[in-house]
Amino acid sequence: MAIECLVLGAGQEVGKSCVVVTINGKRIMFDCGMHMGYVDHRRYPDFSLISKSGDFDNALSCVIITHFHLDHIGALPYFTEVCGYNGPIYMTYPTKALAPLMLDDYRKVMVGRGEEQQFTNENILNCLKKVTAIDIKQTVQVDKDLQIRAYYAGHVLGAAMIYASVGDAAMVYTGDYNMTPDRHLGAAQIDRLHLDLVITESTYGKTIRDSKYAREREFLKAVHTCVANGGKVLIPTFALGRAQELCILLDDYWERMNLKVPIYFSSGLTIQANLYYKVLISWTSQKVKDTYATRNAFNFKNVQSFERSLIHAPGPCVLFATPGMLSGGFSLEVFKHWAPCESNLITLPGYCVAGTVGHKLSDKTTKVDVDKDTQIDVRCKIHRLSFSPHTDEKGIMDLVKFLSPKNVILVHGEIKNMVNLKGRMESELGIQCYYPSNNETVSFPTTHFVKADASAAFIRSTLTPNFKFLKDEAAEMAPVQVLDERVTQGILTMEKGQKVKILHQDELLATVGTEQAEI
């Protein structure tokens, strides 16, 4: 029996997460994402590798989505409504609630860029009707053999790590996770499990982050300095996740400093998303839950909607514009207008995928190609600061050490990060580690437990103490330490038609019907 892992996306890169794992004959697709940096065939996973005939219902036992980010769910409507998958789909309640907002927002971005529409709003709604919502630590019996369970991952509202088992074989797919709490979400939590495999993200696999408070101070100082000098601040971010985290931070700072500079959201999408955050308080951090009775953290006093006419309005402001990474849409439109002005600031709060405009920017950038026909002069300040909801190198190592699986597969990261993590895991933890590229398959043997009877003589032998007495000779009055290092030896026997049994070594000769021979 074996576990077979086919990486269809996020192999040695960040983007279009999609991993198909076969456990003792059961085939699970973990995530079904799209790549934000491509508009050609590389945008989606190569689903033909799952089934050449396109019979995905029989090829897969189920699909599990870890969270609502497009690089984890963006291809799902295409897979169900265009490719024809109609089998079981699982995700948490918040992910099911928020996914339609993210998917339809990006559909509009694609249409706005003049691209061929990959799926319609109706496709999105029909896709989500096929989804079964699950709760944290709820065990779901997909069929008589396959069992799954979700664990809290932090990262974004509703994000989950997924445990899957078939018989004695078991694994965890982490999706994206954060091992430290932030202002609106708690840290990832998972039980100690007996695992053959952990598939973990490695986005920041070569980064040890500074103190969260130091990063917050640096961010607030950069924003405050810009608006105090009359500049405009553009924060390209996705409507869900970092937008809420940074709004809580800025809203609180604006209150303390009594600032009157307007803070804007670029779309009604985030306003709508905030309504869900208010309803789904139980999935947020303990601090947010504790203060909910007196003040909802998502009621932002200083944040308002942004009208397109305000792009050229005079005076300072702070604008959260979607999508993140400057991958298109309104954030890229505003960037084109604001980047040439020296007094303005573009702050990039998270990871930017290769191929996006955000990935091309640095504090030394003077010109950037936003498409094949347009080049922008960049005179504004560029500020990169990791408010990413991904865990860092220490968090990844801590999780793997805690779970202690037999094997680890690294996905969702750059190869240099994966090489670093592989070296550390194999040398420090003694765990085999792999980082396959896209469309590559890795296989491992699985665990198989056998129940065995034990003879009375063997059990009695385990009860015999094996005392050792230790005393510190250098200290006259030191107490004696008593250790019981009990090691039991037995012989595993298998007789035809009978259960496996453990015997004491003295019973073996009688069992096999022979006598002891002296040499």
pLDDT in tens, 385-396: 777 788 999 999
Q: Is the pLDDT of residue 488 over 80?
A: no
* Residue 404 near residue 196, CB atoms below 8 Å: no
**Res 478: pLDDT:** 61
Q: Is the pLDDT of residue 243 over 80?
A: yes
**Res 270: pLDDT:** 63
Secondary structure of residue 421 in the 3-state scheme: helix
Average pLDDT, the chain: 89
Residues 333 and 377 both lie in one domain: yes
**Res 40: pLDDT:** 85
Residues 243 and 377 both lie in one domain: yes
Residues 354 and 427 both lie in one domain: no
Domain that residue 271 falls in: 212-384
CA angle 201, 173, 162 (to 5 degrees): 130
**Res 359: pLDDT:** 83
**Res 279: pLDDT:** 83
Mean pLDDT of 35-45: 88
403-445: per-residue pLDDT in tens? 999 999 999 999 999 999 999 999 999 999 999 999 999 999 8
**Res 37: pLDDT:** 79
Q: What is the 3-state secondary structure (H, E, C) of 151-210?
A: EECCCCCCCEEEEEEECCEEEEECCCCCCCCCCCCCCCCCCCCCCCEEEEECCECCCCCC
Classify residue 508: in a domain, yes or no: yes
Residues 293 and 432 both lie in one domain: no
Residues 236 and 274 both lie in one domain: yes
Residues 224 and 369 both lie in one domain: yes
- Looking up residue 380, the CATH number of its domain turns out to be 3.40.50.10890
Q: Is the pLDDT of residue 476 over 70?
A: no
Residues 293 and 361 both lie in one domain: yes
- CA 461 from chain centre, in angstroms, equals 48
Options 13, 81, 201, 414, the catalytic residue: 201
Classify residue 89: in a domain, yes or no: yes
Overall number of domains in the chain: 3
Structure tokens at 310: 């305000």
Residues 185 and 237 both lie in one domain: no
- Looking up residue 76, the CATH number of its domain turns out to be 3.60.15.10
Most confident of 121-130, 234-243, 280-289, 322-331: 121-130
Residues 265 and 365 both lie in one domain: yes
Classify residue 518: in a domain, yes or no: no
Decide if 201 is catalytic. yes
Question: Amino acid identity, residue 512?
Answer: V
115-150: per-residue pLDDT in tens? 888 889 999 999 999 999 999 999 999 999 999 999
Classify residue 519: in a domain, yes or no: no
497-499-501-506 Cα dihedral, nearest 10 degrees:
-30
Residues 194 and 216 both lie in one domain: no
Residues 189 and 50 both lie in one domain: yes
Classify residue 416: in a domain, yes or no: yes
Q: Residue 48, by phi and psi: left (phi above 0), alpha (psi -120 to 50) or beta?
A: alpha
**Res 492: pLDDT:** 84
